[in-house]
Structures are given as C-alpha cells and as structure tokens.
Amino acid sequence: MRLRFAALVAAAGVVLAACGGGGQASTDPNAPLRVAVSPTPHGEILQYVKDNLAKQAGLDIEIVKFDDYNRPNEAVAHGELEANYFQHQPYLEEYRKQRGGDFVWIQAVHLEPLAVYSNKVKSLQEVQDGATVTLSNDPANQFRGLKLLEQGGLIKLKPEAAVGTRLESAIAENPKNIKFKDLSPDQLPRSVDDAAAAVVNGNYAIKANLQNPVLVESPENNPYANGLVTTPALEKDPRIQKLAELLRSQQVKDFINQKYGGVAVIPAA
C-alpha cells in the first residue's frame, strides 16, 4: 500500500510539473483552470463537464487526480493548482485547523452518503460482542462515521463530542464492547473482508464496487456535501465562477443521477 501510495503521489507530481505547477496559481482568465480531484466520483463528474460543457462555456479545464486527501489542499494552498473538488466543508475546516492554508469554499456539488458495509452481518444489531469495526482516521470523517454508528444503535456518543475528539473520548456507551480500528480512507473497503463492519467513504465504496450497505447516512440536512474550493485571490476569477455554474447545472445533476443511480452519489440540494 505504501509503494502504491508513493507511486500515486509521484505520478501526480509529474502531472503538476507538466502543467506548470510550482508555486504560482495563474490569474490569467484565458489560462487553463487546473483542478485537483479524487478520481471517483469527482474526477468522473469533472471529466463530464470538460467533455460536454466546458468548451461551449469558453472554459479550458485541466484535471489532476489524487488518491489521498491531503495533497489537493496543499496544491491549491501552494499555488500549484487553482482549485480542488474532493472534500466537504467539515473536512476543509479541520484541515485548516491542523495544517493551515487560506481557502474559500465556493459551493456544494454533490453528496456521497457515508455507509456501513459488512460481509458478516445484515444489520448492526447482529454485530457480536467484542467485534471490530473500522472507520476513517481523518477527524472529520471519523466523527461522521461515529454519528452513523450511533444512528444505527451500536454506540452512544457523549453530548460534547465533536470533530477532533479522540475516538475513545467521544463514546459514552459501547454496550457490545466494540473494538474500533481507524484506517486511512482508501484502506477501508479492503477491511470489509476482515472486520465485522466498516464505515466507508462514498468515493472509495464506488471505486471498490461495494454493494448492499448495512446502513446509509441520511441526505436530509446533511452538511457533508462535496464542493469546489479555491483561494481568496481566485474567488472571483471568471473561470472559477464559470466552473461553479457548470457543476451545479441541470446537465451535471442528470449525469450524476444516471451514472450513480441516485444512491451512492446524489446532487447537492
């Protein structure tokens, strides 16, 4: 996994070098707009925009794919790219607290409901005492996963628990003495074979072709919609505004619903 991760980062670095990355985001309104994405579904959605909508709108998009959750923000903060599209606002806020950087949230595009998957049980009520459950090691998605497990009745969280609260400190009641194991998000789909249950981020569930979740996060009043992010210097850039308009267009909403079946990925409200 480490070798694979290193190869992905190295490949992304080659792409950045090829498209002129190196510390200065372009403010030329006629220059290509370089956007960092997670390959699935963000890269697929942005590729649809590039292939079907961008040219007519006078927008030139360069897509740079990353499989980890840190480099897209680093690339934008360091001026290597103009924007990214891979994260929700709680993740961005936690990233800013932990690592710094000056970012502007432009708008939400889609929601990937978080879900629990298992090859051993058909409901959380069937999880055995002392079983292992895996969830994300990034603070925002870890807390989101704990909230989902609470929704399913497996645990109860402390009222004061929030993003950034240590896993053990967040839980008030754990009647089945569940053992929690936090993993990097890209490793969670593989853990479905070993753990009693795994809380998997939507993009990785799609990539691993996981089916029949045990429990799915409700989309109602959900703060975890993924969206477009840039820097204050580019917030009003016509290319950013144009891309934001295209990503929220009816054509893109129709594409999302048709490609992902209205379940794994849904357009933001």
Average pLDDT of the segment spanning 17-29 = 62
CB atoms within 10 A of CB 193: 9
CA-wise closest residue to 205 among 217, 196, 192, 222 = 192
More confident residue, 68 or 145: 145
Average pLDDT of the segment spanning 152-162 = 96
- The reported pLDDT for the residue numbered 27 is 83
pLDDT over threshold 50, residue 6: no
- The reported pLDDT for the residue numbered 251 is 98
- The reported pLDDT for the residue numbered 115 is 95
pLDDT in tens, 170-221: 999 999 999 999 999 999 999 999 999 999 988 889 889 999 999 999 888 8
Q: What distance in Å separates the CA atoms of residue 195 and residue 174, rounded to the nearest whole number?
A: 17
pLDDT over threshold 80, residue 33: yes
Identity at 19, one-letter amino acid code: C
pLDDT over threshold 50, residue 139: yes
- The reported pLDDT for the residue numbered 1 is 35
pLDDT over threshold 50, residue 20: no
Average pLDDT of the segment spanning 139-145 = 93
**Mapped to the 3 state alphabet, what secondary structure does the chain carry?**
CHHHHHHHHHHHHHHHHHCCCCCCCCCCCCCCEEEEECHHHHHHHHHHHHHHHHCCCCCCEEEEECCCCCHHHHHHHCCCCCEEEEEEHHHHHHHHHHHCCCCEEEEEEEECCCEEECCCCCCHHHCCCCCEEEEECCHHHHHHHHHHHHHCCCCEECCCCCCCCCHHHHEEECCCCCEEEEECHHHHHHHCCCCCEEEECHHHHHHCCCCCCCEECCCCCCCCCEEEEECHHHCCCHHHHHHHHHHCCHHHHHHHHHHHCCCCCEECC
- The reported pLDDT for the residue numbered 173 is 97
Question: How much of the chain, in percent, has pLDDT values that exceed 70?
Answer: 91
Identity at 134, one-letter amino acid code: T
Tokens of 38: 């997670």
- The reported pLDDT for the residue numbered 202 is 87
- The reported pLDDT for the residue numbered 11 is 40
- The reported pLDDT for the residue numbered 161 is 94
Average pLDDT of the segment spanning 24-50 = 93
- The reported pLDDT for the residue numbered 164 is 87
pLDDT in tens, 94-116: 999 999 999 999 999 999 999 99
Domains of the chain: 2-112+224-267 (3.40.190.10), 115-216 (3.40.190.10)
Query: 130 vs 80, 173, 187, 195, 214, CA distance in Å?
Result: 46, 14, 22, 11, 19
pLDDT over threshold 70, residue 160: yes
Please say whether the beta carbons of 213 and 115 come within 8 A: yes
pLDDT over threshold 70, residue 13: no
Share the mean pLDDT of the chain: 90
- The reported pLDDT for the residue numbered 19 is 41
- The reported pLDDT for the residue numbered 153 is 96
